[in-house]
Amino acid sequence: MENSHTWVTKETITADKLNGLAELDGVNEIEDRLNTQSLNVKNFGAIGDGIADDTGPIQAALDAVPENGGIVYIPAGTYLVDQQKLRDGSTDTYGALFPKPNTTMLGVGPSTIIQLADGTTKVDLIYAKNTPNLKFIDLTIDAGPRNTPYWTTGLQLDTVDNLVIRDVTVTRGNIEGVYLYNSTNFDIKGLHTHDNGAWQDDASGLHLDSDHNGVVSNIISHNNGFHGVIISSSWEIVINNITAHHNGWQGLHIQTGSNKIQVTNGSFTNNSRGIYIKDWGTDNNLLSNIVVASNAYDGVLTWVTYNNIINGMQALNNGEYGVETGVNDDTIYIYASIFKNNTLGDTHEVDNSHIYINGLDEA
C-alpha cells in the first residue's frame, strides 16, 4: 500500500521519506510542526538565496529544539553558513552549525543545499560531539566554497550514537565528506559523497573511525581525492550496496584493526586500487558479491591481515593483479570468483603469504 503526503513546498513525501520520523498516522502532526515558528528555518529569518548569511537563523532553529527532540525543517534553497567558535571553547577549530541531541535536520531533497560561505577555513560544516540521536534527511551538504584554502569537512560527528542519515549528498569537503568517530548503532542509507578529500592522506567520502554496530546501505562514493570509503579501528559493521568509482586511491580501504566488517553487493571500479585491507588485526572480514574492475593497480590488495574471506567476486581488467597479498603470512580465502584480463595476472603471493581459491593455495 502506498502512502504519500504533500508538503507546503509542493514536494511529495512518501512513507519512506518519513522513516525514523513518525508513523504514517502522525504525518499531519509533522506538517503542523514544520510550519511552527520553532522549527522552520524560514521563520527564524533564513533566506536561502545563496547570497545571505543564514548561519544565525539556522543555528537559532537548532537551538530551539527541545530536550526531548524535534525537527528543524529546511525548505528548498541554498543556505550559506559561516564559521562559529566550537561550543566546547576550542580556539583553533571552528564549525558552522551545531545541532543538539535528538535533532532531525530535514530538507526536501537535492534542492535543499547548505553551503559554506566563501573564504571559510578550518570549518566542519555540521559539527556534533557527544550528541546522540541525530538524523539528517534529504539534504545536500556542500563544504567547498569557491575560495576556501583548506580544511573543511561536511559532517564531523564525534560520539554520535543512534545516528540516522537518509538520502544525503555531501560534497567538496577538503578533508572529508563525512567523518564518524567513536559511534555506535548508526544507520546510513542513500548517502552520496563526491569530490571530497583533496587535502589529506586517508581522507575520503565517508570515514568510519573507531565505530561499531552500524549499517551503511545504498552508498555511492566517487571522485574523492583519496578513498571512497575508509574504515579504521572499527568492528561489526555491515555495508550493503556500495558503489565506489574514480577515487584517487582506494574505492574501499579497511585498516588499523578493523574486524568483522561485512561488505555485500559492491562495485569498485576505476580507482587507483579497488579494495585495500591492511594492518595487524584487520582480520575476519567478509566481502560477498563484489566487482573490482578497471582499477589502475590491484583489484584487491591485503597487507599483514589474516582470515579475510571473499565469496563471489569478479576481478576484471585491473592494471596489476586481480588479488595480491603483500607480506609474510597474509592469508585470504576466495570462493566462487571470476578473474579475467588482469594485466600482471590473476593472483600474486609475496613471501610466505597465501591466497586460497576454493580451498587450494595458489602458491
**What pLDDT score was predicted for residue 193?**
98
Kindly report the pTM of this predicted structure: 0.89
Per the model's pLDDT, the better-predicted residue between 13 and 308 turns out to be 308
Q: pLDDT above 90 covers what percent of the chain?
A: 71
Q: What is the helix, strand, coil percentage profile of the chain, to 5?
A: 5, 50, 40
- Reported as a single tens digit per residue, the pLDDT across 77-86 is 999 998 876 5
Average pLDDT, the chain: 86
- Beta carbons within 8 Å of 220's beta carbon, 6+ residues apart: 191, 192, 193, 194, 242, 243, 244
Task: Give dist(CA 279, CA 285) in Å, integer.
Answer: 13
Closest CA to 96 of 112, 111, 79, 109: 79
The helix/strand/coil state of 303 is strand
Residue 165, pLDDT > 60, answer yes
